[in-house]
Amino acid sequence: YPPFYDQDQFVTYKKILSGKIEFPRHFDYAAKQLLRKLLNVDQQSRLGSARDGGDEIKREQWFVGVNWSDVTELKYEPPIQPVVTSPGDTANFDSYDETDLKMVPVAAKYEIQLFKDF
């Protein structure tokens, strides 16, 4: 779910700059809180930007019940185990016909400036 999406690209930019996020009703409260904090427009207030960055994120309600030692020791069974046959195996990625891709123009300088502090 792209939190700032709008069919109008300019509206998407405005949503990003305002930091206002609209979530579907079925989203868990703790997930919404986590995402709001991670997507905070103010870099100083953004979750994970403080001195103890990663630890601050780990303390969020969304992660209650996660045993971080077990995570680092690879004790959790991943929900999806893709089959990989070689280092360059791309079978688990969607394929796209490159001729169908339309070239998107590079953002204008004023558009890039809108995101300089984000």
Say if 38 falls within a structural domain.
Answer: yes
Say if 86 falls within a structural domain.
Answer: no
Say which amino acid occupies 114. L
State the residue range of the domain holding 114. Answer: 1-73+98-118
The average pLDDT across 61-80 equals: 94
The average pLDDT across 17-35 equals: 89
Is residue 85 predicted with pLDDT exceeding 80? yes
Would you place residue 62 in the very low, low, confident or very high pLDDT band (cuts 50, 70, 90)?
A: very high
Is residue 38 predicted with pLDDT exceeding 70? yes
- CATH of residue 6's domain is 1.10.510.10
pLDDT on residue 64: 95
What is the number of structural domains in the chain?
1
Is residue 1 predicted with pLDDT exceeding 80? no
pLDDT on residue 101: 62
